[in-house]
Structures are given as structure tokens and as C-alpha cells.
Amino acid sequence: MGILSRFRDVMRVNIGGLLERAEDPEKTIDEYMRQMHRDLGQVKAETAAVQTEESRAKRAFDECAGEVRKLQRYAEKAVESGDEERALKFLEQKAQQAERLGELQAAYEQSAANAAQMKQMQDKLAADLSELETRRTTLKTKLAEAGRLQQTHASASAGGVEAAFRAAEEQVDRALNEAEALAELRDGARKDDLDELIAQLEKGKDANAGD
């Protein structure tokens, strides 16, 4: 019976529960939205046929009910006029129409129920689509924010590593400069000591020559 055969499945869908169990909520939302758009399109396409059937069934039921009432009046008038034979014929016809009326009533009630279910499904699908659209917008906003924060964090981490390298390089440069300066000082000190020693030796030679 088309989309009506899926009435229970459509009506018991719990969007919140489905998304809570989803491993990839964004993908799940997109899939369900596509499915619901298809279902909603099918509901709208079949609603016209269901409503037409409901109108036809109601018209047939009303006509038969009118026929039953008419035959009842004819039978009553025949009794009043003393024509019991005609009255019995009218009552027999009324009984036949009454039996048919029961069938038409059942058909009308079923078509009316189908039309009501179509309306319920259309309302449910429209509401679910609206909820999914809202959740998708919210989710995409959160994902975009998460991506921005992740990018910012990555940039900050990269900047921190670069700063650490620069600091290490500066520390090495300072240590190297200090070592070179110390070496120069020591070389200078050794040169001064050697000059002093030579001066003392020369002074000693002069003293010996004088003796």
C-alpha cells in the first residue's frame, strides 16, 4: 500500500536516539535527511490518491444511507395505506441496502484512517526534517569552531617549537662566546707571564755581566 505500509516505522523514528548512537553524526544526519525528503515526497504524492478514495467512499456511504432511509419511509407509507405486500418488498430492499451500508461504512472508515495516517506521517516527517536541519546547522557550526581551535592550537604549538629552538640556539651562542672570551683571557695571561719571565732572565744576565 505504498508509503502507508511503513507508517509504524516512520512514526517510531527517534531522531535524538539515532544521533546519539551514530559514530558520524554529520553523515547520519545527511543520510536521514535524504531518506526523509524521499519519504515526504512519496507521502505528498500518495496523499491526493488517498484523499480521493476517502471522498469516494464517503459519497458511496452517504448515498447508500440515504437509500436505506428512503426505503424505510416507503415501507412505512405502504403500511399506512394498507399495502403490506409492498411494505415487505421495501423492507427486503432496505435489508439488502443496510447490509451493503455496513460494507461501505467499513470502507469509508478505513479510507478515513488512511488519510489520517498520511497526515500524521507528513507532519512527523516535516517535524523530523526541521529538527535535523537545526541539528545539522548546530553541528556544522561546532565542527567549524573545533577546526578553527585545532588550527589555532597547531599554529601555537609550531610557534612554541620554533621559539624553543631559537632559545636553544641563543644559549649555545652565549656559551660559545663565553668560552672564546675565556680562552682569549687565558692566552693573554700566559703571554704576560712569559714576558715577565723573559724580563727577569735578561735582568739576571745583566747582573752577572757586571760582576
pLDDT in tens, the chain (211 residues): 577 777 677 767 666 666 677 677 778 778 878 888 888 888 888 888 899 999 999 999 999 999 999 999 999 999 999 999 999 999 999 999 999 999 999 999 999 999 998 888 888 888 888 888 888 888 778 777 777 777 776 655 555 556 655 766 677 567 667 766 666 666 565 555 556 656 666 666 556 555 5
CA 12 to the chain's CA centroid: 17
Query: Is residue 49 within 8 Å of residue 43, measured between CB atoms?
Result: no
Residue 209 falls inside a structural domain: no
Residue 187 falls inside a structural domain: no
Count of domains observed in the chain: 1
- Output phi, psi for 119, to 5 deg: -65, -40
Residue 167 falls inside a structural domain: no
| Structural domain harbouring 41 | 2-155
Separation CA 93–CA 63 (nearest Å)? 15
Residue 173 falls inside a structural domain: no
What pTM did the predictor assign? 0.55
